[in-house]
Structure 1
């Protein structure tokens, strides 16, 4: 009888080592799932995941705050092909209506819609001062761009020939022309200043090889890049969900 009672007291169930092993496997699985969820380094998700990880391992209190704050960088958010195609068609129609389609090339480039204007329309050779006759062209561009809930980046470009002014490089010339154009829009209050930016690329972004005078003339240009900052689908849902609601 005593021997039978001792056998009954042993009971059933998994061995102790198996329970410990199962806990370890579960924690490892949790750990790798958390690593995967933190792959985009989103700060809020990272901190939430850190708290979950601490809880999973039975830690309490603070183990030191992890600061992954990054400097804010304004980045260009390319628009998808469907949106670009519809925007291109609407802008092209507006160019024809405003009768400036002969003065401006409309292209799709770098994930955006670009208005491309030749140097000779806006500036004299080597000059950074806008021509008087360029004002009407720029006013028409402003009338086209202002209704669009998009930002505009003004880019200056030159050919590869050295500047005639030894004190000014092609890069300087391209920047000054972009800024002069921006100042005109701002001084005339044609487009809000916060929607514009100016940049110069010198001869670094030719559209054709600089192998002839005609091709160099094409590379000397000012471009108006219609761009979106951030996630434009969230900011401009009515432009994405409806085909005919671009503001023209």
Structure 2
């Protein structure tokens, strides 16, 4: 007895169904890319992750959490210059046996020489002590060979003056100018490399709550700098190059 042959059912082959699904997904993918051409990076990553999940890259599960892009912080280029300058000055101070009351620190992107008030001035006075002159002479000798500007800053504590015609701002400026004037009169540093500025009590090193802390805040600083325009950053500046000779 002859065996009956099965009749093939009509319709597309089975492989065509899978192929059609893949083409449809690819078309959807490219339409999505075109419509989101101006997307930011995070949203784009989310869309790509979702599409990868649809294609089974993530095991058939949607990826809902997209890690935020990491932010890489790059240190300022001049940090290396500051470090090398700091090392050189410390070496020179040791070689010259500079007074230990002169401290060298890295501050505000520059190297700073710091001298306490007690070395240079009497309390409330802007007249240099006689014993301050050799200290300042050695400081000038330290700065002179360096191709840098020296910004002389005067700082005070927050104790107000008893007379209304004098303030901590006035005292800080007068002290900075007294140091600048000494450098100019002794021909230790050219005026083109000097400027004087007074901050009063506005930039303390320590809280003005004890006599010891107030003594720390009464100081003169030499900020050595070669980059940037300092005139736009200082509130109360007197540039030596713009002043008449003393």
CA distance in 2, matches of 1:165, 1:121: 25
Contact 1:186 1:193 in 2 (8 A): yes
Report the equivalent of 1:182: 180
Unmatched segments (≥5 aa) in structure 2: 1-75, 230-246
Give the match for residue 221 of structure 1. Answer: 219
Structure 1 segment 220-239 matched on structure 2, within 5 A: 220-230=218-228
Q: What does residue 152 of structure 1 align with?
A: 150
Q: Aligned to 1:166, which of 164, 167, 175?
A: 164
Give the total of aligned pairs. 154
Decide whether the 8 Å contact of 1:106 with 1:114 is kept in 2.
Answer: yes
Q: Deviations 1:157-182 (Å, cap 9, x if unpaired)?
A: 00011124432000000000000100
Structure number with greater Rg is: 2
Q: Does the 8 Å contact 1:156/1:200 carry over to 2?
A: yes
Distance 2:223 2:136 in 1: 14
1:1-248 equivalence runs, <5 A? 80-230=78-228
Preserved contact between residue 79 and residue 112 of structure 1 (Cα < 8 Å):
no
Q: Is the 8 A contact 1:156 1:199 kept in 2?
A: yes
CA contact (8 A) 2:156 2:218 kept: yes
Question: What's the TM-score, normalizing by structure 2?
Answer: 0.60
> Cα deviations across residues 187-210 of structure 1 (Å, max 9, x unaligned)?
100000110000000000001111
Structure 2 CA distance, aligned partners of 1:224 and 1:216?
19
Unaligned runs of 5+ in 1: 1-77, 232-248
Relative to the length of structure 1, the TM-score reads 0.60
Q: Whose RCO is larger (CA < 8 A, sep 6+)?
A: 1
Show the counterpart of 1:239: none
CA distance in 2, matches of 1:197, 1:93: 25
Task: Answer whether contact 1:117 1:221 (CA < 8 A) is retained.
Answer: yes
Question: Structure 1 runs of 4+ off > 4 angstroms?
Answer: none
CA distance in structure 1 between the partners assigned to 2:118 and 2:92 by the alignment: 23
Is this contact kept in 1: 2:173–2:196, CA < 8 A?
yes
Name the CA distance, whole Å, in 2 between partners of 1:103 and 1:163.
Answer: 27
